[in-house]
Amino acid sequence: MKKNLFVLFFLLLFIGCTIISIKPVKSVSVVGTPYVLSSFYSDGKFVLNILALDQDSNPVDLNSSNVKIIIDSVVEYGGNVLKNLAVKISDFQQIKLEYGDMGLAMLFDGSGSMSSSDPNWLRKDAAIKMIEYLETERANSMVGIFDFAVGYDTAYYFRVLQDFVKVGTNKNALISALDSLQNSGATPLYDAMALGCRKLEKDIDNSVYKRVLMTLTDGGDNDSYLLNSTARSVLSEAKSRDVSLINIAFGEYAYTPDLMMLADSTDGIFVKAQEAKDLENLFLQLGIGTKGTINKVIAQFVDTIPGYYSTIFGRVQIYKGLLPTLNVVETNFVMGVFSYKGKLED
């Protein structure tokens, strides 16, 4: 009897400590648009980047035991609706974006296709939202604004719109620089990313700041003839210069495999924005994420894999304590199953 009481005492003590150690989650969101992996049609794997916040709007670390992915329905291409499709979490990663003060290069695709993918310049509003957040929450970080494109009469593989300045005292200069963004010409994506890494090494002291290159593009590289850069050479540049890559694939035609590989290989993050209207919230989420952790969840359909051009409606649930049915925070998501754009280099 005494032994049982002894075991019970320590069990209650353990439960009490566990409850105390659980950091409350007030809200949860999916960062960007969920996306399928290249193997989706054979193994049903897809990715959700999840941002959980506490009551003070600070990121919360999650793990596979307190995250659940629920699929409410799948609408197939012909209109048929599937219900009760089971999914499981096959991998869980915590992407730690909190580096202290950052040296952040915001690099924008300025090629001609951006005039159709973002005709209302919503990427400017998105960047402003992130700059304003960093001004209040990460004021000592250094931020610069850059873009890239190659036109018939102008070639700027890496153009400085606003050199690195402390965001807390130079918000207006950074915002003004966004008015110089243009839409013209081809896409020297890899050359621009390589030059961005070199610029960060030259101007940002990595003993004081964490070097981060954040690139937004709506397509793939088609004009990196200045340096003849490839995805693999960009990876070498980033690693040798201690740069983490945040890559934003915007729209349906961005070369996601290369961008994902580059982010994953440099302790960065790959995110997807399906439409221009999604950018503002995405940039704000990334800004908040730089204060802590964004949780990358790879989920997998267990039995039935939705077909091409299906639309998936689901939920993310976060369990906050030992009584999950009474302590759940959730958010909805929608994911389209499209072709996997781009080709990863050997």
* Domain identity same for 279 and 321: no
Asked, for residue 50, whether it belongs to a domain, the answer is yes
pTM of the model: 0.88
Asked, for residue 11, whether it belongs to a domain, the answer is no
Amino acid at 189: L
* Domain identity same for 82 and 163: no
pLDDT of residue 285 exceeding 50, the answer is yes
pLDDT band at 151 (very low <50, low <70, confident <90, very high): confident
Q: Model confidence over 296-322: pLDDT tens digits?
A: 999 999 999 999 999 999 999 998 655
Report, as an integer, the average pLDDT of 45-63. Answer: 94
Asked, for residue 345, whether it belongs to a domain, the answer is no
Tell the residue number behind the tokens 């506490």, with chain if given: 54
* Domain identity same for 45 and 168: no
Asked, for residue 192, whether it belongs to a domain, the answer is yes
* Domain identity same for 61 and 172: no
- Residue 51 CA to residue 294 CA, distance in Å, equals 5
* Domain identity same for 284 and 299: no
CATH number at residue 47: 2.60.40
CATH number at residue 207: 3.40.50.410
- Residue 20 CA to residue 169 CA, distance in Å, equals 39
- Residue 311 CA to residue 97 CA, distance in Å, equals 31
* Domain identity same for 283 and 300: no
Q: What's the pLDDT at 97?
A: 83
Asked, for residue 276, whether it belongs to a domain, the answer is yes
Range of the domain at 65: 22-94+295-336
* Domain identity same for 121 and 38: no
* Domain identity same for 210 and 258: yes
* Domain identity same for 124 and 271: yes
More confident residue, 60 or 339: 60
For the chain, the domain total comes to 2
**Could you tell me if residue 9 is left (phi over 0), alpha (psi between -120 and 50 degrees) or otherwise beta?**
alpha
pLDDT band at 274 (very low <50, low <70, confident <90, very high): confident
What are the distances in angstroms from CA 69 to CA 254, 289, 298? 26, 21, 10
Report, as an integer, the average pLDDT of 164-191. Answer: 96
Asked, for residue 193, whether it belongs to a domain, the answer is yes
pLDDT band at 219 (very low <50, low <70, confident <90, very high): confident
* Domain identity same for 283 and 301: no
Asked, for residue 17, whether it belongs to a domain, the answer is no
pLDDT of residue 21 exceeding 80, the answer is no
Q: Model confidence over 76-106: pLDDT tens digits?
A: 999 999 999 999 999 999 999 877 799 999 9
* Domain identity same for 254 and 278: yes
More confident residue, 320 or 232: 232
* Domain identity same for 285 and 300: no
Asked, for residue 308, whether it belongs to a domain, the answer is yes
Q: What's the pLDDT at 103?
A: 97
pLDDT of residue 9 exceeding 50, the answer is no
Report, as an integer, the average pLDDT of 43-59. Answer: 94
End-to-end Cα separation, the chain, in angstroms: 65
Q: What's the pLDDT at 1?
A: 54
Q: What's the pLDDT at 20?
A: 42
Rounded to 5°, angle at Cα 257 from 252 and 260: 100
Q: What's the pLDDT at 321?
A: 56
Report, as an integer, the average pLDDT of 243-270. Answer: 91
